[in-house]
Amino acid sequence: MACPDCGRESARVHSSYRRTLADVVVGGRPLLIGLSVRRLFCDGADCARRTFAEQVEGLTVRYQRRSPLLQHLVEMAGVLLAGRGGARLLHIVKVQLSRTSVLFHLMRMRLPPVVTPRVLGVDDFALYADVYGTLLVNADTRLPIDLWAGRDAEQLAAWLRIHPGVEVACRDGSLTFRQGITAGAQTRCRSATVFTSGKGSRNGSRISRPPTAAACPAARQAVARDSPRIHRHGPKHQRDRSRPGPEPTDRGQVRTRGHLAGMRTPHPAPAADEP
């Protein structure tokens, strides 16, 4: 076995102990695996570790009492259903865990590496009263990237400096996010410019390419293709010309059906028979 710190092989046995692992159920019954594990010496003079326990590849993990397959099942239950729902699902497959334990294993999971998105979505949310937070989302994959307290322009600018490569930044009409996008883009790329396209709540800030790339016809076509087109009148505001409109009268006035209905006079009641 090799030492996990220095990687030097060792065969000198220090001691042995029994280790119990839980695995996925078999035939509706819980399965426990009993292993006899050796503890070995590390003979490296420059290694700070003196002893280490051997691990079975694909079966054991350090400080873990479950098999990798069962641990993956617990983590996926927490990711999909969170604490209470994940615990209920695990009870069905004969894994007795509380909701707090499911959340504990969920928080222990390693986050995927942050990949700089091409299209970045920036928005704020209110926790309570005047306490706000900022959320960054990858607009291509619709997955959250980062989350922090407050909605400061300097935080957004610092994030853009650390993660270069953002081409389009989608935001709302907040002036704070506009200042952060402008500061982060101009600090990172001197030749980059920031301009807004659209109006109102649909505006977005684009970090354009350098002038040499923007002068290329392909770059201009990409900018024109990605720029949002806002129609003042949506489809529901457009008139349906297939339906007949109001009919003009002889005097040139346009009378609708409702207007004509109001002008109708009731029929006179039948006269009573005279004696």
pLDDT on residue 242:
56
pLDDT on residue 28:
87
Distance between CA atoms of residues 72 and 23, nearest Å: 11
- 192 secondary structure, DSSP code: -
Span 8-52, pLDDT tens digits: 888 899 999 999 999 999 988 989 999 999 999 998 888 889 999
pLDDT on residue 170:
85
Distance between CA atoms of residues 275 and 41, nearest Å: 131
pLDDT on residue 167:
83
Name the token pair of 272: 């009573």
Span 69-103, pLDDT tens digits: 999 999 999 999 999 999 999 999 999 999 999 99
Whole-model pTM over 0.75: no
More confident: 114 or 262: 114
Q: For residue 271, is pLDDT > 90? A: no
**Which of 96-100, 107-111, 112-116, 118-122 ranks highest by mean pLDDT?**
96-100
Q: Which CA distances in Å does 153 have to 116, 133, 181, 194?
A: 19, 12, 8, 15
Q: For residue 124, is pLDDT > 80? A: yes
Q: How confident is the model at residue 245 (pLDDT cuts 50, 70, 90)?
A: low
Classified as helix, coil or strand, 68 is helix
Any idea where the domains of the chain sit in the sequence?
Answer: 13-108, 119-226
Element housing 237 (H / E)? none
Residue 274 corresponds to which amino acid? E
pLDDT on residue 71:
94
Span 194-236, pLDDT tens digits: 444 444 444 444 444 333 334 334 434 544 555 445 444 445 5
Span 161-189, pLDDT tens digits: 888 888 888 887 778 888 888 888 754 44
Q: How confident is the model at residue 107 (pLDDT cuts 50, 70, 90)?
A: very high
CB 21 within 8 A of CB 67: yes
Please list, in sequence order, all residues whose beta carbon lies within 8 angstroms of the beta carbon of residue 34, skipping any fewer than 6 positions away. Answer: 18, 19, 20, 21
